């Protein structure tokens, strides 16, 4: 492992003090940064953050016992006791470390935001860039100020690329994140009514997403999905900070124009203008758009798009984001589960349902089972946004509809099809094995707060049980 931080750099970054004169004594090296004693690794520096529910200072002994190289604290007595670095506020110290790390980094930084698709795009892009050089990226969806600060504080300065995911719940959050990130390239996947309960309108969400352009470096590049309703508005906002704006999508104004995308049984095929068909083995048309966005970034970095295409062709979706799982039964029978359980907003739900409809047309001998959970954080528009799904649901005409939550329950009452409704996923868990049978096409989709991922876990174990029985 390469040395990540020196004592001198940490003191400079945090403007901290070493009251015991023993911080990182005996030339202890820092190989990582952690704020969680449960997952800390040997050689990590432990930053004791005070949160709403827990105080990281209470877990210092645990962190040290697991091999922490040192601690940063906001209590002078604790700093003396544990030979720690003393700062006024540990959260601010972590942010300052992140800023110091970003400023010393000489590689290229790409920041991604959007109402949906940002985590998947980050995954596709980071995997692609690893073919060209060492790449650091946001793990999971650590896209708030603490998550971003951790990601940047762990950034090795000798790496070539850093891919950052920026998330938000309120106006001003993206601005704070992008000013720390200082991206060379900023990409917006889309704008929709996710988190609408914290905003007055979808336009306000578009404006908040546009804040990502504020942090662009000189000569930075703004990349925007031209298929999105808010493309022109985002473009006008981007013009305030850069003249280098690239669009991707189906519209004629796109610099990376898509002629069409065809869903296959397992993946999809993209037809880019003046290019040969590009087949994605595992990703649906929903993910295909994220793949095209990635291609634009690769081109703007001056890298080979053909090399990136080969890598992207074999990438599998992240768990819970359209990942396809085969459920095996006895006598070589099987069902196909589409795990889209990670999250949902009106746009991503609609896209997922449209994708299901396309796949259904190719699996005519399969029954369709649709399991949908409530879309959360929609505020006063929650009921309306759920009922707006009825036309696409009628088009799909599933053999069985299962809803989880009070708003999706309203949908089941409007549709004259076989359906079961549950207020929470735990009530469904005990019955799911009786529902799933051979020759079914199953989609699981809902907001993360509905915990539909628990169903996927049961069905994956069910798969193993059937394999063992066979």
Q: Which helix (H) or strand (E) holds 161?
A: strand 161-165
CA distances to 78, 148, 375 from 209, rounded to whole Å, are 41, 16, 20
**What fold, for 7-89?**
3.40.1390
Cβ neighbours of residue 210 closer than 8 Å, sequence gap 6 or more: 188, 233, 234, 237, 238
CA distances to 249, 406, 412 from 372, rounded to whole Å, are 28, 11, 10
Helix (H, G, I), strand (E, B) or coil at 197: helix
Residue in this structure with the two tokens 């925007």, named with its chain if needed: 224
Where residue 80 falls (left for φ over 0; alpha for ψ -120 to 50; beta otherwise) is: alpha
Whether the CA torsion 449, 455, 456, 457 is positive or negative: it is positive
Residue range 323-469 in CATH 3.90.190.20: yes
pLDDT of amino acid 470 = 43
Q: What is the DSSP string of 93-138?
A: HHHHHHHHHHHH--SEEEEEE-SSSHHHHHHHHHHHHTTTS-EEE-
Q: pTM to 2 decimals?
A: 0.89
Strand 256-263: give its sheet, edge to edge.
Answer: 135-137, 161-165, 108-113, 185-188, 221-225, 244-249, 256-263, 268-272, 278-280
Q: What single DSSP character describes residue 302? A: T
Burial 409-436 (b: 16+ CB within 10 A, else e): bbbbeebeeebebbeebeebeeebeebb
Domain ranges of the chain: 7-89, 105-313, 323-469
pLDDT of amino acid 378 = 87
Closest by CA position to 259, among listed 221, 223, 285, 284: 285
pLDDT of amino acid 2 = 76
Residue in this structure with the two tokens 């396309």, named with its chain if needed: 358
CB atoms within 10 A of CB 198: 15
Cβ neighbours of residue 41 closer than 8 Å, sequence gap 6 or more: 31, 32, 34, 66, 67
CB atoms within 10 A of CB 113: 28
- Token pair listed for 357: 């409809």
pLDDT of amino acid 195 = 64
Walk along the chain (470 residues) and give the pLDDT tens digit of each residue: 678 999 999 999 999 999 999 999 876 779 999 999 999 999 999 999 998 889 999 999 999 999 999 999 999 999 999 999 999 999 999 999 999 999 999 999 999 999 989 999 999 999 999 999 999 999 988 999 999 999 999 999 999 999 999 999 888 999 999 999 999 999 999 998 766 777 888 999 999 999 999 999 889 999 999 999 999 999 999 999 999 999 999 999 999 999 999 887 678 999 999 889 999 999 988 899 999 999 999 999 999 999 999 999 999 988 888 888 899 888 888 999 999 998 888 888 998 999 899 888 888 899 999 999 999 988 888 999 999 999 999 999 999 999 999 999 999 888 888 999 999 999 999 899 889 999 999 999 999 899 999 999 998 877 655 555 44
Instruction: Return d(Cα 165, Cα 120) in angstroms, integer.
Output: 10
pLDDT of amino acid 263 = 83
- Token pair listed for 13: 């970054």
* Residues listed for the chain: 470
Residue range 105-313 in CATH 3.40.1190.10: yes
Residue 338 pairs in a beta bridge with: 324, 443
Instruction: Return d(Cα 401, Cα 445) in angstroms, integer.
Output: 12
Cβ neighbours of residue 435 closer than 8 Å, sequence gap 6 or more: 369, 400, 402
N-term to C-term CA, the chain: 45
Alpha-carbon dihedral angle through residues 162, 163, 165, 171, given to the nearest 10 degrees: 60
CB atoms within 10 A of CB 437: 14
């Amino acid at each position: 492992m390469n040395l990540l931080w020196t004592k001198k750099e940490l003191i400079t970054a945090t403007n901290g003090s070493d009251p015991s004169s023993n911080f990182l004594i005996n030339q202890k090296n820092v190989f990582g940064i952690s704020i969680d004693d449960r997952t800390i690794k040997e050689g990590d520096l432990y930053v004791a953050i005070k949160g709403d529910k827990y105080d990281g200072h209470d877990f210092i002994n645990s962190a040290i016992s697991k091999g922490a190289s040192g601690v940063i604290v906001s209590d002078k007595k604790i700093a003396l006791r544990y030979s720690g670095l003393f700062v006024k506020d540990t959260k601010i110290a972590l942010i300052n470390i992140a800023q110091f790390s970003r400023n010393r980094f000489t590689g290229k930084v790409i920041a991604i935001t959007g109402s949906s698709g940002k985590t998947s795009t980050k995954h596709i892009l980071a995997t692609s860039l690893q073919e060209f050089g060492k790449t650091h990226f946001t793990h999971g969806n650590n896209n708030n100020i603490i998550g971003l600060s951790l990601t940047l504080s762990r950034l090795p300065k000798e790496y070539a690329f850093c891919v950052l995911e920026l998330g938000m719940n309120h106006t001003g959050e993206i601005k704070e994140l992008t000013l720390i990130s200082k991206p060379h390239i900023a990409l917006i996947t889309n704008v929709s009514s996710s988190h609408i309960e914290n905003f007055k309108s979808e336009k306000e969400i578009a404006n908040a997403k546009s804040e990502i352009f504020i942090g662009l470096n000189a000569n930075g590049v703004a990349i925007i999905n031209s298929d999105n309703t808010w493309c022109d508005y985002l473009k006008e906002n981007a013009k305030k900070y850069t003249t280098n704006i690239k669009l991707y999508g189906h519209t004629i104004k796109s610099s990376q124009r898509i002629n069409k995308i065809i869903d296959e049984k397992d993946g999809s095929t993209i037809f880019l203008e003046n290019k040969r068909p590009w087949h994605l083995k595992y990703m649906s048309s929903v993910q295909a758009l994220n793949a095209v966005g990635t291609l634009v970034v690769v081109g703007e970095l001056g890298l080979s798009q053909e090399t990136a295409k080969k890598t992207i062709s074999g990438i599998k979706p992240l768990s819970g984001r359209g990942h396809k799982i085969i459920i095996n039964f006895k006598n070589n029978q099987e069902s196909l589960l589409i795990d889209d359980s990670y999250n949902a907003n009106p746009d991503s739900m609609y896209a997922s349902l449209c994708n299901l409809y396309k796949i259904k047309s190719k699996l005519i001998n399969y029954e369709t089972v649709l399991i949908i959970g409530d879309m959360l954080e929609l505020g006063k528009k929650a009921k309306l946004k759920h009922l707006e799904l009825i036309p696409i649901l009628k088009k799909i005409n599933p053999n069985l509809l299962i809803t989880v939550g009070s708003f999706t329950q309203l949908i089941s009452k409007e549709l004259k099809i076989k359906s079961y409704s549950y207020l929470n996923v735990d009530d469904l868990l005990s019955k799911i094995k009786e529902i799933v049978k051979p020759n079914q096409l199953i989609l699981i989709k809902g907001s993360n707060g509905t915990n539909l991922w628990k169903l996927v876990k049961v069905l994956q174990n069910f798969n193993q049980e059937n394999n063992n029985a066979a």
